[in-house]
Amino acid sequence: MNYFSEMLRLPVVDAAGEKIGVVNDLGIATGEVFPRVTALAFQGPGKTPFMISWRKYVERFDEDGVYLKYPATDIRFSYLQPDEVLLARDIMNKQIVDTQGMKVVRVNDIKLSATGDNQLRLLGAEVGARGLLRAIHPLFERVSVKVAQMLGKPLAEDIIAWSYMDLLERSTKQIKLSVSHKTLSELHPADIADIIEQLDPRLRTQVFAQLDTEQAAEAITELDDDELMTEMLEGLSDREASTMLATMDPDDAAALIEELDYEKAEKLLRLMGVKEEKAIRNLLGYEEDTAGRIMTNQFVALPATATVQDAIDALRGLDEDFESIYYVYTTDVEGALTGVLSMRSLVVAEHTDRLKDLAYRDVVWVAPDLDQELVADEMTKYDLVAIPVCDENRHILGIVTVDDALDVIAEEHAEDLQIAGVSVSENNAGESTHAFSWFAQRQYWVLVWAIAACAIAAIVVTPFESLGHMGEAGAREIVTGQGMMALMPIAIMPVVLLASMRMVSFVKNSYLEYDERDDEPKPYLGFFLKTAFIGIVLAAVVFLCGELIATTLFAEANPWAASALLDCFKGAAAVIVATYASAVIYFFVLFRSDEKDQNISGTSLTFAAVLLSALAYTVLGAVPLL
């Protein structure tokens, strides 16, 4: 047995051969690289829970049950130890952090390994589809694996080793995890932020609380969602929140406080130290989206008459959490900005050299009320990693660093895309940033449907417009009836068109994912079998839905209408089968165009598929009604 799910519900048999319960959990000791099973939890008569030592009482186990060394009367029950967790209770179907892949996943099963000394060890968590299939039934998993292999898409295990797992439901302070891997608190703040954004809302605050103040301060500034930042902050006590804000860079703290209501913000500011409160309030005094709002007061400025040694001593005296130092600025006797030195200039200079002799005097600076986007433009223009913000007398108020400039550029870019009518995700996917272009690329099937609908209506109704011998009223009744019948294929046609669009999308993804090797033939046969099978399954679903609708709505009241509706669904199913069977042609076209160094857009392929499907369905959908 390789999986925990296979052990659940196995009978527990004592030395006398008597069944005393069924397995419902296993306990593991967490302080090992590959934790061993230390406890057996089983459900006894009357659903009474029991727990015993695995090492002391378990003699052997197999696919038929777990067999104990002693009779039931000689067994002494135990309790879970502080360094132990239960697999079913604490890990199965729970969210965990994959600290190697930097993502949040859900445990579908747990892989175990049996050793020769009758021990079981935990290897890792199964987080892929096989775990879900196995939970339904092991036979279902085996069949699915075989089918996937036949289609050329092996269904591999997706195992995360225990050494890369970090539990979320229980505090990591209470679990002695292996020292050989990164825990959540040891990840980069940006990775922690990504993980928090993936979590269920009920777990976010719990995970955030596991971080110390400095880690929490760094992680919260990496969150992209302002509402989520506020949620994390409000989940802390006022004292904790104030302490965390005080450890942040003043510009980041000011941006976060700005999202809070006035009373909450004032309370947190008053709980801070005087120095931190003053720095944040100074920034909040500037207008939003200006240089003054995004600058930091952490910079190094020395008199121009100081020496290189004075600058080195000043740098050595800075706190470890001081904003990254890019430049050293020089000032005159009145404190006005006179020059700037790079770190390289300080490193290569003699310690006795004067800063005024080394500094670059033509310093680029900005006013505190300058728009933040223009600040970023200035930094880009002059290739600066930091730019000083000065008042009208050139006194340095702070500096804007490159990370803040990048945030501004990203924010402005996102706003521009929203104005253009396109989301950031759509643009990242390589699609057009204009609303009309987006519609033309993705929703043109509506236009095709409208044209084909007119064609169907004309084909069905036109032959009956010349029935003058029946009288005007009789002819009108027939034409009206045929017009109503024309609505049937028109209403069903979008299913066909959308199916063709999905087919081309599947072809494009398969082409992009194909790992081409020169010595291997193209997988045309396997791809044809795969897409044909998908088309048959999809067509069967469409036909069964049609049959259900026809028999339910029209079978007794209007048999002719039921028959006509069913014919329309048959036509739709036939077109879907043909469309997916022809997918290999599009696959071949993509490979051929690549070999000939020709570009064929996905939009043109999709349009061709939609148009062909519409033509085929127009014929198959309209002819049965004539």
pLDDT tens per residue, range 594-612: 777 666 666 778 878 888 8
Same domain flag for 261 and 367: no
The answer to whether 372 and 294 have CB atoms below 8 angstroms apart is yes
Rg of the chain over all Cα atoms, to the nearest angstrom: 35
CA atoms within 13 A on the CB side of 602: 19
State how far Cα 484 lies from the chain centre.
46
Q: Which residues contact 242 (CB under 8 A, 6 or more apart)?
A: 267, 268, 269, 271, 272
Same domain flag for 10 and 44: yes
**Weakly modelled stretches of the chain, pLDDT under 50:** 169-182, 419-442, 461-483, 518, 625-626
Same domain flag for 439 and 416: no
Same domain flag for 362 and 393: yes
Residue 324's region, left for phi above 0, alpha for psi from -120 to 50, else beta, is beta
d(CA 119, CA 116): 7
Same domain flag for 266 and 398: no
Residue 201 has a pLDDT of 65
Would residue 337 count as lying in a domain? yes
Residue finishing a domain among 249, 284, 319: 284
Q: Which residues contact 194 (CB under 8 A, 6 or more apart)?
A: 102, 103, 222
Residue 30 has a pLDDT of 77
Please give the single-letter amino acid code of residue 153: K
Q: Which residues contact 585 (CB under 8 A, 6 or more apart)?
A: none
Same domain flag for 490 and 527: yes
Residue 437 has a pLDDT of 44
Same domain flag for 450 and 594: yes
Residue 485 has a pLDDT of 54
Same domain flag for 416 and 439: no
User: What SS3 class is residue 434?
Assistant: coil
The owner of tokens 């799910």 is 5
Would residue 305 count as lying in a domain? yes
Residue 133 has a pLDDT of 78
pLDDT tens-digit map of 389-434: 999 999 999 999 988 888 888 777 666 555 344 444 444 433 433 4
Would residue 542 count as lying in a domain? yes
Same domain flag for 158 and 113: yes
Would residue 289 count as lying in a domain? no
Would residue 314 count as lying in a domain? yes
Q: pTM score, two decimals?
A: 0.45
The token pair that represents 566 in the structure block: 């069913």
- What's the structural domain count of the chain? 4
Residue 77 has a pLDDT of 87
- Among residues 337, 358, 361, 357, the alpha carbon closest in space to that of 347 is found at 358
d(CA 417, CA 427): 8
Would residue 425 count as lying in a domain? no
The answer to whether 37 and 121 have CB atoms below 8 angstroms apart is yes
Same domain flag for 15 and 83: yes
Give the DSSP H/E element, type plus range, for residue 98: strand 95-98
- Among residues 115, 124, 41, 140, the alpha carbon closest in space to that of 84 is found at 41
Would residue 240 count as lying in a domain? yes
Would residue 173 count as lying in a domain? no
Domain that holds residue 20: 4-164
User: Partners of 290 in the beta sheet?
Assistant: 371
Residue 549 has a pLDDT of 72
- Among residues 502, 449, 501, the alpha carbon closest in space to that of 618 is found at 449
The answer to whether 292 and 283 have CB atoms below 8 angstroms apart is yes
Please give the single-letter amino acid code of residue 450: A
Residue finishing a domain among 129, 164, 199: 164
Residue 554 has a pLDDT of 59
Same domain flag for 617 and 496: yes
Question: Residue 38: what are its φ and ψ, rounded to 5°?
Answer: -110, -15
User: Partners of 382 in the beta sheet?
Assistant: none
Q: Which residues contact 77 (CB under 8 A, 6 or more apart)?
A: 50, 51, 52
